[in-house]
């Protein structure tokens, strides 16, 4: 006999499965932060040039580009959950091989493999959450990925600091960085274990012809009545389109969605946060900080990043995506300009630089940090979501690679002032882009967002009395 559908939705269940997928952010956060602590010691051990420093850091992005490129196609075939579990395994292997490597080539190759895992996870974690979460709290649940990313960064900064203080400089150069990189296997193992108990995405199940399973999951999230309406909306969305093809992204309507998704991905990376994250210790040393103090400062920034990302989780479904991105990008432009000014005026006591980076980090954490990750899977239709998110995230990882590869070259050749002023200009362009092209998706179901691009949103609302029912009544019962 079939299991009866759950009558009442469960907030705790929705949060639990979202957290399971969001743990992929721990992997992304760990790798984002861990290399900033290790690169100085690797530079000393192997005599790395600025270009080779960039290659060691950016090699994981090479794998990331490949990972996101194949993630959509793989997940459409075997499901979101299985691909996320594969991502965890790849990252764990890469972390352990990195820790025992004895030459730069092995280290770079291991980081490329780790990038495959992180790329697959970054493309699909938020996609999975978007396909499970109710419209009314989808932004908050999707932002859990970014929150776990930032928690991963903070814990990694703290771990780097503790490892760096555990031995002499010579121990750090030959052994300490191995512990930093090898401990990445821990969050990967946690991610894999938790996914063993997570369900598959209900939208993928529907697409795969397993509607009964999808309905049970939707009912457990939203309750039976809303689940029935949501399943019907998913079926209508899937039935109205032909078989998924990347070429569909270039059809009228979806072309604009694709352009917006790509630009969101690019602005998430090229606004300058990763330059500070990857090369923070090197930047702080440029203005006179010691080896010990730059690790302490990074740990402090990690803690502040966590706090303001929590603020974003609270605000995103109340204020909306678009206003937060506009205000945040404007503030980031101001702080980047001021950071450049500290280098231009040679203010080498470091106080002003730390203050302006604090302001920049806070603005990033509530705007262009979490929101592009949330909106990229939101803005695409059911039959294209995984592949479209994969395509757009390729650009995100490509931009990430460029920042990792060329920031030390920029700092060495044109200096801190002009490097940070360049990022300030990019942030101004981000304000213009969001204001002109990005739609507001707050409190809209994924099917309602889909109709924004096809121009049928108003017509559907006026002619279909059930069109907005799922999102209107998607409230959890206690």
pLDDT at 389: 76
* Contact call for residues 421 and 275 (beta carbons, < 8 A): no
Please give the Cα distance from 175 to 306 (Å, whole number).
29
- At residue 463, the 3 state secondary structure works out as helix
What is the CA 326 to chain-centroid distance, rounded? 19
Q: Is the dihedral of CA 41, 44, 48, 407 positive or negative?
A: positive
Residues spanned by the domain of 378: 11-472
Say if 34 falls within a structural domain. Answer: yes
Stretches where the chain sits below pLDDT 70 are: 1-3, 240-246, 281-282, 285-295, 348-349, 382, 386, 454-478
* Contact call for residues 155 and 163 (beta carbons, < 8 A): no
* Contact call for residues 240 and 111 (beta carbons, < 8 A): no
Say if 4 falls within a structural domain. Answer: no
pLDDT at 335: 95
What is the CA 444 to chain-centroid distance, rounded? 21
Say if 192 falls within a structural domain. Answer: yes
Say if 336 falls within a structural domain. Answer: yes
Could you please report the per-residue DSSP string of 391-409? HHHHHHHHHHHHHHHHHHH
CA angle 402, 55, 341 (to 5 degrees): 50
Could you please report the per-residue DSSP string of 83-116? HHHHHHHHHHHHHHHHHH--SHHHHHHHHHHHHH
Nearest one of 56, 68, 306 to 181, comparing CA atoms: 56
Say if 477 falls within a structural domain. Answer: no
pLDDT at 421: 95
Cα atoms in the 13 Å half-sphere on the side-chain side of 331: 19
| Cβ-defined contacts of 204-213 (< 8 Å, 24+) | 204/75, 204/76, 204/79, 204/80, 204/131, 204/386, 206/231, 206/234, 206/235, 206/238, 207/76, 207/238, 207/382, 207/383, 208/79, 211/235, 212/2
In this prediction the pTM is: 0.70
Say if 156 falls within a structural domain. Answer: yes
Q: In sequence order, which ranges of 287-384 are alpha helices (DSSP H)?
A: 291-319, 321-344, 351-365, 371-378
* Contact call for residues 329 and 430 (beta carbons, < 8 A): yes
pLDDT at 283: 74
pLDDT at 2: 53
**How many domains does one find in the chain?**
1
Nearest one of 221, 244, 224, 243 to 232, comparing CA atoms: 224
* CATH number of the domain where residue 174 is located: 1.20.1250.20
Say if 5 falls within a structural domain. Answer: no
Say if 478 falls within a structural domain. Answer: no
What burial class does residue 189 get, using C-beta atoms within 10 Å of its C-beta: 0-12 exposed, 13-18 middle, 19+ buried?
A: middle
Nearest one of 64, 80, 82 to 72, comparing CA atoms: 80
List all residues 6 or more positions away from 393 whose beta carbon is below 8 Å from its beta carbon: 68, 71, 119, 122, 123, 265, 376
* Contact call for residues 61 and 112 (beta carbons, < 8 A): no
Please give the Cα distance from 127 to 142 (Å, whole number).
8
Please give the Cα distance from 200 to 213 (Å, whole number).
9
Q: Is the dihedral of CA 213, 83, 448, 145 positive or negative?
A: positive
* Contact call for residues 410 and 419 (beta carbons, < 8 A): yes
* Contact call for residues 99 and 12 (beta carbons, < 8 A): no
């Amino acid at each position: 006999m079939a299991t009866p559908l759950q009558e009442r939705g469960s907030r705790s269940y929705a949060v639990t499965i979202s957290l399971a997928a969001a743990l992929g952010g721990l992997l992304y956060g760990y790798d984002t932060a861990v290399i900033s602590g290790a690169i100085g010691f690797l530079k000393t051990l192997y005599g790395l040039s600025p270009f080779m420093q960039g290659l060691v850091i950016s090699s994981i992005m090479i794998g990331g580009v490949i990972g996101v490129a194949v993630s959509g196609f793989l997940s459409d075939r075997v499901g979101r959950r299985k691909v996320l579990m594969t991502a965890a395994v790849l990252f764990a292997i890469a972390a352990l091989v990195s820790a025992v490597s004895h030459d730069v080539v092995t280290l770079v190759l291991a980081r490329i493999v780790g990038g495959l895992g992180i790329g697959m996870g970054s493309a699909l974690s938020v996609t999975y959450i978007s396909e499970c979460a109710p419209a009314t709290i989808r932004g908050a649940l999707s932002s859990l990925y970014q929150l776990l990313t930032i928690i991963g960064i903070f814990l990694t900064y703290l771990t780097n600091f503790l490892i760096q203080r555990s031995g002499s400089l010579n121990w750090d150069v030959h052994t300490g960085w191995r512990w930093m990189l090898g401990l990445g296997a821990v969050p990967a193992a946690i991610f894999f274990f938790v996914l063993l108990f997570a369900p598959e995405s209900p939208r993928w199940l529907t697409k795969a012809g397993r509607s009964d399973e999808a309905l049970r999951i939707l009912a457990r999230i939203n309750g039976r009545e809303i689940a029935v309406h949501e399943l019907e909306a998913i079926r209508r969305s899937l039935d109205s389109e032909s078989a998924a093809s990347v070429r569909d992204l270039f059809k009228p309507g979806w072309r604009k969605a694709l352009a917006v998704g790509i630009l969101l991905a690019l602005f998430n990376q090229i606004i300058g946060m990763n330059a500070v994250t990857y090369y923070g210790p090197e930047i702080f040393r440029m203005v006179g900080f010691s080896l010990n103090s730059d690790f302490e400062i990074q740990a402090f920034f990690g803690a502040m990043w966590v706090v303001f990302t929590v603020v974003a989780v609270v605000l995103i479904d109340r204020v909306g995506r678009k206003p937060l991105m506009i205000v945040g990008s404007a503030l980031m432009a101001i702080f980047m300009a001021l950071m450049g000014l500290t280098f231009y005026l040679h203010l080498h006591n470091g106080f002003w630089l730390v203050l302006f980076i604090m302001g920049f980090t806070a603005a990033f954490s509530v705007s262009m940090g979490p929101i592009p990750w949330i909106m990229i899977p939101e803005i695409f239709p059911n039959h294209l979501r995984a592949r479209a998110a994969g395509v757009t995230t390729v650009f995100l990882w490509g931009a990430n690679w460029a920042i990792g590869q060329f920031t030390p070259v920029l700092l060495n050749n044109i200096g801190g002032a002009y490097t940070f002023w360049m990022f300030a200009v990019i942030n101004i362009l981000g304000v213009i882009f969001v204001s002109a092209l990005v739609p507001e998706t707050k409190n809209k179901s994924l099917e309602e967002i889909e109709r924004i691009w096809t121009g049928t949103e108003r017509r559907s609302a006026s002619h279909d009395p059930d069109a907005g029912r799922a999102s209107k009544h998607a409230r959890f019962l206690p």
